[in-house]
Structure 1
Amino acid sequence: MNNTNKLKIFNDPIYGFITIPNSLIYDLIQHPYFQRLRRITQMGLSYLVYPGAHHTRFHHAIGAMHIMQKAVEVLRSKEVVISKDEENALYIAILLHDIGHGPFSHAMEHSIVEEVNHEQISLLFMNKLNLEFEGQLSLAIQIFKGDYHRKFMLQLISSQLDMDRMDYLKRDSFYSGVAEGNINSDRLIQMINVVDEALVMEEKGIYSIEKFLMARRLMYWQTYLHKTSLVAELTLTKALQRAKELFNKGDEVDCSSPLKYFMEHKITLENFTNNNLDKFAQLDDFDIISALKNWQYHTDFILSSLSKMIINRDLSKIKLNSEKFPLEVLEEMTIRFAKENNITQQEAKYFIFKGKIKNQAYSKDAEPIRILKKDKTIEDVAEASDQLNLKALSKPVTKYFICFPKQLEELYH
């Protein structure tokens, strides 16, 4: 008989002690699929800008589960009926919501498995675990997919003010040292309620919500969309793209067997078998770093140069602008770089490229954040707020960027 004590406690730098609520949650955390999250960086390559940002998806998932426990407690104190099965399903769904992330989280979202996003892979993992755990995840999966009749349960997991966002803003702010992202999650959770099976926030919490939305906007500009993180992550995707190209041409490209498998096979949602899922579960940040360390000595100039840029943090220049960059600048740089390095203009595009980024703290088109007013009416937070900046936060801001090697800076006007 196995006498393992499954009621463990985690010591978390954000919340203090986090308790595992029951043995099923313990067994899910102990599963190799979940333990892999210890090897997946939460903020991609942001540690190249913020040296402290080395925390992992494991940290985040445990933290999100902890604040879900707080949310259930608060809702029950306000006479919202949540059964034991529903409570457990909420913990499982939030715990596993990010289990489908690949190496470096969002940085490589469509690089390894090109056509499948991490939410879809999370669901594949949940379904596989549900078989292993004899159907004990069925209700959690129903909630995660939005198929459960109590809508507020999905809103706690995925909405514009969910437990996922509450944890990652506070956690990413703490580890990066960017104080602007620090939110008062305790206050926000105390303000939640349910009306007609939909999640609402009590009116007295409106300033905390405004602070939350402002923090989200600032964290995107300062960390998630920071220009150096952006150029590092784009360089990483270009390196993998080049490795795949060489691999398909029959060149020798040394890497771990799980990474090699995804270079050899084009995986779609339709052919994402259990075997593919197990291969994906073997992939983490270390496969990528190890590959880059090898590739920096590859005979291919492009793969070697891109790999060195990341390993040595010697990155390309990136310029941001509110207007689109003229194509002539890009073309002039491409011609010159190709000529100087004896590569084709097509190959030079691995180093010289443009794109755009968008930041929108609050979307009026998505599920709104509903404010429960003192007279019991319900209003969208953007209308209920007396702060003009909340209307501004709901407008998307687009910035355009151009990336190019440092030696071409003189050509940039």
Structure 2
Amino acid sequence: MNSNNKLKIINDPIYGFITIPSILVFELIEHKYFQRLRRISQMGMSYLVYPGAHHTRFQHALGAMHLMQKSVHVLRFKGVVISDKEAEALYIAILLHDIGHGPFSHAMEHSIVNNVSHEEISLKFMDVLNAEFNNRLTLAIQIFKNEYHRAFLNQLVSGQLDMDRLDYLKRDSFYTGVSEGSINSERLISMLNVIDDHLVVEEKGIYSVEKFIIARRLMYWQVYLHKTSLVAEQLLMKLLKRAKELTKRGDTLPASTSLSYFLNHTITSDNFNASTISIFSKLDDYDIIMAMKSWVNEKDFVLSSISKMLLNRDLLKIKIISEEFTEDEISVKNKNVMQKYGISENESSYFVFTGTIFNQAYRMDKDTINLLTKSGKVIDVANASDQLNLKALSKVVVKNYMCFPKSI
């Protein structure tokens, strides 16, 4: 590998020029497993609400790595000892933290694989890459799994004020045009420090932290849990579930080789091996879109109807309330759908369904964001803030939704 490769730069619309810090990082970015992230949308079906939201997991991973470089620079400047090996491991851990995402980001893990989270799949990818790169990712994996003795390194990768969140809030805000989510990541990073091996924010950064927490809350309600995005993502999961159901029944559906494999096999954490990773790595948003375009012509009413809904943005209606929906309300809707379309109760469940959404902008029970006061005391930001709403934001807000066809 030419050593000049590490001098390559990438022009990013959020931060400007991003540099690649080492040859190993460059080789990982060049790897086909990482390049696949160019074809995985960062925000799933949110482009149906925000037309600009077509950015990818590839862009996000590079942005998070860029912020990690800034964090290491700031902490070293403040006297925190971070070795070159630890720094490179941090860059690798944050670069690969989302490598396990499937098509449209979250749809896969709730439909055609059996409760295998993207975090688990990311770790499986890392293990395969570690073997391929002669165990040079071992430290990065230890940090990612929080098995390394320096806790603040994991907090930078996966904490309440990590580089993942600092990038996706700023990036998603930019591409959706929702300015409420815009945060000053540079300011937040410049206020970071380490006390007793744990990440802290210097007291003068309190208002930036408050803005970050509030921005996160607003982005969840306004963007990530937007009712149209919610309906679309649920329909996509229902579509894949139906395709798997029909395949199990013996139907042969037009699909790519990779998608067909997951439709024809029951995949769990136990059998998600290196061979499965290889097939999964060939699966992206385009497989799903191609399948939907074919499935609109299938004779199965459910598969055909949902495919049309997603392709044409003619979605179900959604009602969101604080209380739970009664069984009578759901039953009436189901009967109306069964009668109107002449379908079974099982088929009707693909068009009438309920669920729950949660929003918790800040957690006080786990891995809190701690402030370092001028006197040297370390306190939870929620206790230090003169904004009473920060404690309120630590409470879980629960809402219930019901989806059903507009025609009923």
Find the aligned partners of 2:320 and 2:56 in 1 and give their Cα distance: 29
User: Alignment partner of 2:401: what SS?
Assistant: strand
Instruction: Find the counterpart in structure 2 of residue 42 from structure 1.
Output: 42
SS of alignment partner, residue 371 of structure 2:
strand
Higher deviation after alignment, 102-111 or 150-159:
102-111
TM-score for the superposition, normalised by structure 2: 0.98
Distance 1:5 1:196 in 2: 37
Q: Alpha-carbon deviation of 1:332?
A: 1.1
Question: What letter is aligned with 2:161?
Answer: L
* Correspondence for 1:259: 259
2:306 matches 1:306: yes
Aligned to 2:279: 279
The amino acid across from 1:270 in the alignment is D
Q: Distance in 1 between matches of 2:374 and 2:108?
A: 46
Distance in 2, matches of 1:243 and 1:69, equals 43
Residue 336 (1) aligns with residue 374 (2): no
What does 1:13-412 align with in structure 2 at a 5 Å threshold?
Answer: 13-408=13-408
The Cα offsets for residues 2-41 of structure 1, whole Å up to 9 and x where unpaired, read as 6873421110000000011111111000000000000000
| Structure 1 position 111, deviation (Å) | 1.6
Tell me what 2:5 maps to.
Answer: 5
**TM superposition score normalised by structure 1:** 0.97
Per-residue CA deviations over 1:77-115 (Å, capped at 9, x if unaligned) read 100000010010000000000000000012333223222
Q: CA deviation at 1:236?
A: 0.5
Residues 42 and 57 in structure 1, CA contact (< 8 A), matched pair in contact too: yes
1:319 is paired with a residue whose SS is strand
**1:7, 1:26 within 8 Å by CA — same for their partners in 2?**
no
- The answer on whether the counterparts of 1:354 and 1:400 sit within 8 Å (CA) in structure 2 is yes
**Identity over aligned residues, as a percent?**
63
The one-letter amino acid of 2:358's match is: K
SS in 1 for 2:5: coil
Q: Is the 8 A contact 1:48 1:229 kept in 2?
A: yes
Shift in Å, 1:219: 0.2
CA distance in 2, matches of 1:347, 1:141: 43
Query: Is the partner of 1:403 in helix, strand or coil?
Result: strand
- Give the deviation of 1:329 after TM superposition: 1.9
Opposite residue 308 of structure 2, the aligned amino acid is: K
Mapped to 1, the partners of 2:3 and 2:99 lie a distance apart of: 28
Q: Partners of 1:223 and 1:106 in 2: how far apart?
A: 15
Instruction: Judge conservation of contact 1:151–1:197 (CA < 8 Å) in 2.
Output: yes
- Structure 1 residues 101-110 or 166-175, which shifts more? 101-110
Structure 1 unaligned spans of 5+: 409-413
Please give the alpha-carbon distance, in whole angstroms, between the structure 1 residues aligned to 2:199 and 2:402. 41
In structure 2, the residue matched to 1:411 is none
| Structure 1 CA distance for aligned equivalents of residues 289 and 13 of structure 2 | 27
Which blocks of at least 5 consecutive residues in structure 2 are unaligned? none
How far apart, in 1, do the equivalents of 2:20 and 2:374 lie? 36
C-alpha distance in structure 2 between counterparts of 1:382 and 1:109, whole Å? 33
Q: CA deviation at 1:327?
A: 2.1
* 1:298 counterpart letter in structure 2: E
Preserved CA contact (<8 Å) 2:5 2:26: no
Q: Deviations over 1:273-296 (max 9, x none)?
A: 111010000000000011111111
Measure, in 2, the Cα distance between the counterparts of 1:4 and 1:312.
Answer: 47
Distance 2:97 2:3 in 1: 29
Q: Matched residues in 2 for 1:239 and 1:4: separation?
A: 47
Q: Which deviates more, 99-108 or 148-157?
A: 99-108
Secondary structure of 1:407's counterpart equals coil
Aligned residue for 1:362, secondary structure, equals coil
Q: How far 1:234 moved relative to its partner? A: 0.4
- The residue identity in structure 2 corresponding to 1:226 is H
Task: Count the aligned residue pairs.
Answer: 408
Amino acid at match of 1:151: A
Tell me, what secondary structure is at the counterpart of 1:288? helix
Q: Deviations over 1:180-227 (max 9, x none)?
A: 000000100000000011101111100100000000000000110000
